[in-house]
Structure 1
Amino acid sequence: MLKYRIITALILIPIVIAALFLLPPVGFAVVTVIVCMLAAWEWGQFSGFTSRTQRVWLAILCGFLLAAMMLSLPAYQQSVQLLQVKGSLWLSLCWWLLAFVLVIFYPSSAALWRHSRILRLVFGLLTIVPFFWGMISLRTYGYAENHYNGAWWLLYVMLLVWGADSGAYLFGKLFGKHKLAPRVSPGKTWEGLIGGLLTSALISWLFGRYAPLDVVPSTLLVCSIVAALASVLGDLTESMFKREAGIKDSGNLIPGHGGIMDRIDSLTAAVPVFACLMLLVY
């Protein structure tokens, strides 16, 4: 399993970086829509849809929704201040605060949504739609002045999340004794969380010093730590929904890694939260 994970990662990481820097905004948006549709397909399991046909329709409807939102934007204008973008990012903050409460009080909190497909679908929309707009708003940030500016921002958030995940895994293996959320994800520890945050802080310092990011270092550090915490919450939230659905992986699209949601669960929280803080708050 580890061999497949490493091989798949070595293949996917260059593809992701190439997509960030080489695709134009429209092409990047199309790829992101496809990723979101695959995530919606997998979220169908969390919502209680066991039929393949139902999940296909769920993915198609998600794609139509995102495409309709994109087409509703003024031509050649991708400002984060547009209602569709700004509203989605602020809504994301509200959703992840609610998700934090659901995770903290799980499994008691599951009684509120366990038997409601509609609520679980709404939770899926609140996860996937803001993630899409977070990706688009960061990628197109400052595009008119520098075509690669937004790509650097997205690469930074991805490295931040991957670094936090790797740091948490390493510190958890070496020092982990105190469980972080045993009822949701027994493998996560407080020591791992601290290690992940320290890794994120190091990445933030290195990027702030050497990468072409035009931002005050203290602002970058604050946004980065909040985004790293959000990435942990995204992981825990998906684990909570998988536990309720009685599944180990969200899918098997990525050899050795499970499904799309298993790979982007942390990003679905970190990307819109970071975008909201960096582009709307600061």
Structure 2
Amino acid sequence: MFKARVLTSLLLVPVFVLTLFMLPYQYWAALMLGIASIAAYEWGGMTGMGKLARHVYWLLTLVTGLLLVFAADWHLVDVNWLVQMQQWMTFWGILVGSLFWLLIAPAWLATRHHFRHPLFMALIGWLVLLPMWLAMLSLHTVSPWLVFGLLLTVWIADSAAYFVGKRFGKRKLAPRISPGKTWEGVLGAWLAVTIYASLLCYLVPFDWWLVPMLWGVTVLSIIGDLLESLIKRQAELKDSGGLLPGHGGVLDRIDGLTSSLPLAALFIYFPLYMSVLDTYV
């Protein structure tokens, strides 16, 4: 299992980095939407949707996003109107997604409530996946390096938590949700991200706020991981899918991104979002 996990990572990470920096923006956005759509299909399987419903769910996710990305190129709508609509949807999508992870997800984890209605869980799935995708696009317009840096933060935190927790873990973080996660693993993630953020501040350099921001990204990535673990446990599933050998499904690999990227984008883009809010409210 560990060997398959490493081999899959060695294959996927370089491919992802190449697409991030080499693909034109719209095609990269479409690729990320495809990944989010696969995750939507897996979400449907975890939350009790039938096979037909899962297909409809991922198709709706894909078509909606494609229209937003390519409508201007296809001359389906007025370009100025599309730009305004994209700004509006990006702002509200990222804001609502951030509030979900800051307020609702922690309460959900605390109560471990089992929501069973497929339609409700479908809406939650969009609330989990689409803000992540919008945040990726928003951050990419600033710089692909910004996207890479934030993704690397989550990967470093996840890897450090895994190895430190496996070697030193004794105190369970959430035994009824994810018995393998420990407080020692959380400490390992925090230390690794602190070193990473400090190096960035020294080499680039960034302002002082980078370190606490990446701490927040780390905490939110853990919350996202725990929420997916809760839903899998309630569905009596080990993985969200089997697409990635050694890793499980796509959702198993991006759970930390679903929770951390929206708030990172909101923080970085806050002045612009305030101007959008003044325009539409």
Structure 1 unpaired stretches of 5+: 142-149
SS of the counterpart of 2:31? helix
Which of 268, 274, 278 is 2:258 aligned to?
268
What is the deviation of 1:238?
0.5
Q: 1:243 and 1:73 mapped to 2: Cα distance?
A: 46
Match of 1:145? none
Q: 1:280 and 1:197 mapped to 2: Cα distance?
A: 25
SS of the counterpart of 2:120? helix
Q: 2:233 and 2:258 mapped to 1: Cα distance?
A: 18
Cα 1:258–1:12 change in 2 (3 A) is same
8 A contact 1:69–1:84 mirrored in 2: no
8 A contact 1:79–1:137 mirrored in 2: no
Q: 2:257 and 2:220 mapped to 1: Cα distance?
A: 9
Cα 1:99–1:19 change in 2 (3 A) is same
Which of 184, 188, 200 is 1:191 aligned to?
184
AA in 1 matched with 2:133: F
Which of 78, 88, 106 is 1:100 aligned to?
106
Q: Does residue 231 of the first structure (1) align with residue 224 of the second (2)?
A: no
Q: 1:81 and 1:209 mapped to 2: Cα distance?
A: 36
Report 1:47-66 matches (<5 A). 47-51=47-51, 53-66=52-65
Please report the RMSD computed on the Cα atoms of aligned residues, expressed in angstroms.
Answer: 2.2
AA in 2 matched with 1:135: M
What is the deviation of 1:77?
8.3
Report 1:1-282 matches (<5 A). 1-51=1-51, 53-70=52-69, 71=71, 74=79, 82-96=87-101, 97-106=103-112, 109-110=113-114, 113=115, 115-141=116-142, 150-211=143-204, 215-216=206-207, 218-280=208-270
8 A contact 2:169–2:185 mirrored in 1: yes
What is the deviation of 1:221?
1.2
Structure 2 unpaired stretches of 5+: 72-76, 273-281
> How many matched pairs?
265
Q: What is the CA deviation profile of residues 179-229 of structure 1, one whole-angstrom value per residue up to 9, with x for unaligned ones?
A: 111111011111111110111111111123224x7x41x211121111110
What is the deviation of 1:281?
6.5
What is the deviation of 1:264?
0.6
Query: With structure 2 as the length reference, what TM-score do the two structures score?
Result: 0.88
SS of the counterpart of 1:180? strand
Q: Percent identity?
A: 34
Q: 1:19 and 1:105 mapped to 2: Cα distance?
A: 40
SS of the counterpart of 1:16? helix
What is the deviation of 1:78?
6.7
Q: 2:221 and 2:201 mapped to 1: Cα distance?
A: 20
What is the deviation of 1:58?
1.0
What is the deviation of 1:4?
1.1
8 A contact 2:48–2:118 mirrored in 1: yes
Q: 2:4 and 2:58 mapped to 1: Cα distance?
A: 27
SS of the counterpart of 2:179? strand
Cα 1:234–1:169 change in 2 (3 A) is same
What is the deviation of 1:81?
8.9
Q: 1:48 and 1:175 mapped to 2: Cα distance?
A: 36
The runs of at least 4 consecutive aligned structure 1 residues that moved more than 3 Å come to 68-81
Q: 2:158 and 2:4 mapped to 1: Cα distance?
A: 18
Cα 1:30–1:161 change in 2 (3 A) is same
Q: 1:277 and 1:79 mapped to 2: Cα distance?
A: 21
What is the deviation of 1:257?
1.1
Q: 1:118 and 1:225 mapped to 2: Cα distance?
A: 34
What is the deviation of 1:170?
2.1
SS of the counterpart of 2:241? coil
8 A contact 2:68–2:86 mirrored in 1: no
Cα 1:233–1:164 change in 2 (3 A) is same
